[in-house]
A = this chain, B = another copy of it.
Amino acid sequence: MADKIYRVNMNDLSFKIEEVPQEWMGLGGRGMTSTIVAAEVDPECHPLGPNNKMVFAPGLLSGTIAANSGRNSLGAKSPLTGGIKESNVGGTSAAIFAKLGVKALIIEGIPEDDSTFYHMHVTRENVTIEACPELVGKDNFEVLDAMEEKYNKKVAVMTIGRPGEMKMLISNISVRDPKGKLRSHGRGGLGAVMGSKKIKVITVDAEKYKETELADPTKFKAANKVFTKALKENPISGEGLPAFGTNVLVNIINEAGGLPSMNFRSGNSENAEEICGEHMAENIEARGGSTTHGCHAGCVIQCSQTYNDDEGNYLASGFEYEMIWAFGANYGINDLDLIAKIDHLMDDLGVDAIETGVAFGVAAEGGLVEFGDGEEAYRILAEEVANGTPIGRIIGSGTGNIGKLYGVVRVPVVKNQAIPAYEPRAIKGQGITYATTPMGADHTAGYAVATNILNSGGYIDPLKKEGQVELARNLQIASAAVDSTGMCIFVAFPALDDPACLPALIDMINARFGINLTGDDVTNLGKTILKTEHEFNLKAGLGSADDRIPEFMKYEPLPPHNVVWDFTNEEIDAFWDF
């Protein structure tokens, strides 16, 4: 049976199955979610009102044996940025959606009775929606346990904690990973959208699914072999990431002078040695735990890890560079174990590591907390954010809003979303991506760090303007396409350096669907996605004045290179000339 669109209306808790329109057949992941959001959501609607929609869509290759194809996309109008959002995640949902034949799950409306929350259960050709008062006020791990108990088997779980119920803008949607830990649709405050629709948890039943059909299984297998080899032989995806996790980046980016520290005051952190990936790996070695862990089945990179305390007790998994940077370098906590405790708490609450960590930096700037006071950050998250106290609401509103509350000018956001762990002034290609991506400041939208710092795909001097706009444009086009396949961002490294990698990826898509995409087709898909998203944002009121790096970076030189953000508006706006 051909894949279908599952559509749920929360107004009356109804459900229907729809055929996939012909013109959407070739879409998956981000291509699917952005197309549907652009087609069906009024760009001027209130993101937490009845006219926003959530769209889940697995990647084109999800559900197959293709390595690293297990990312699931979620699209909506973001309540944080006010623009279109796609956020993809590992975990088990992409493969199960794909195997159930769900091309997209569209959730619209808001229940008339908003006195409780609902549990949505997706099975083959059906969706049930039931009130779940017993789960209201619970956080993620308790919800996970309840779902495991309820179904007594592995179901995909997508859930929000208390911050999501309270529609906080730092809230995300957490997804069960293969080991029962959590990954997140992290950015853009999408947990608040789920909260606004009064959905506490979505489960997707793995039973009765079929193996994904392949038009040409032989060709598919051969291509996957080439693709997997490329992933494993690349020095970054095959060695650095498995050995040290994403946190290998702390020392690299610090050395480059681009590690934002103390709320983007410097590109170097005094805490680098304490929080770096090498130190983390030492701890893991000494304390038990594991340096490798895949966020989804079929991952051959295994960049995640399990991190224990010094008595060997579990502290955190999925303990990523961005989290460690945000709380370690940018907010100034010099204790990796405490950062791990905070990470686990944030997994349980369901809040975005980047938005929340950078929010603490601006809160420190405004005087609400003190730089480096990790115990207080933990307490605020556990007591204030979790319970929606006034302080909790402040932190929960995210970086940009805290800046407005406290009259702070040094506010590192683009389109009101916090800037991640790479300084725009010192890694200028990445800055162009932050400025121009329709997603708000987002490193994954076009990871210019690869070519600015990691010598992947050549080298472009990170401190100079030359070539950065073109680099960011090419990477964003490629990323939009890759985000449609279900592949994780790290396939970018072999894709940039190994000429066999991208053709193998395209071959897998062709063998899956029995089509004949060329490299140009894939590039055109990426371009179309970007333009669709950009058009939505323009209608939503995010124009060129929103494609900007914060003004303070234009007049505050960043140590150690003492560089400023020096692109003219015209240079930035030329990004869209394609």
Contacts and interface: CB of A to CB of B under 8 A. Distances in A.
A48 B195 contact: no
A546 interface: yes
B393 A545 contact: no
B541 A409 contact: no
B46 A409 contact: yes
Given A390-B391, A545-B541, A552-B46, A404 B407 contact: no
Contact of A405 (B396, B406, B539, B552): B396
B405 A393 contact: yes
A544 B44 CA distance: 10
A5 interface: no
Interface in A529-543: 539-543
Interface string A373-402: 000000000000000001101101100010
Contact of A543 (B394, B404, B543): B543
B545 A409 contact: no
Given A169-B404, A404-B397, A541-B543, A555 B50 contact: yes
A184 to B, nearest CB: 19
A49 B542 CA distance: 22
A192 interface: yes
Given A169-B404, A545-B43, A545-B539, A48 B393 contact: no
A552 to B, nearest CB: 7
Contacts of A541: 541-546
A167 interface: yes
A166 interface: yes
A181 interface: no
Interface string A389-428: 0110110110001001111010000000000000000000
B192 A407 contact: yes
Given A541-B545, A545-B541, A48 B551 contact: no
A51 B407 contact: no
A555 B109 CA distance: 13
A559 to B, nearest CB: 19
A168 interface: yes
Interface in A345-396: 368, 390-391, 393-394, 396
Contacts of A544: 541
The interface centre, meaning the residue of A166, A195, A390, A406 with most chain B CB atoms within 10 A of its CB, is A390
A573 to B, nearest CB: 12
A196 interface: yes
A99 interface: no
A117 to B, nearest CB: 14
A536 to B, nearest CB: 11
A155 to B, nearest CB: 28
A45 interface: yes
Contacts of A391: 390
Nearest to A555: B50
A539 B401 CA distance: 22
21 contacts: A43-B545, A44-B551, A46-B550, A46-B551, A46-B552, A49-B409, A49-B551, A49-B552, A50-B555, A167-B406, A168-B407, A192-B407, A390-B390, A393-B394, A396-B405, A397-B401, A541-B542, A541-B543, A541-B545, A541-B546, A543-B543
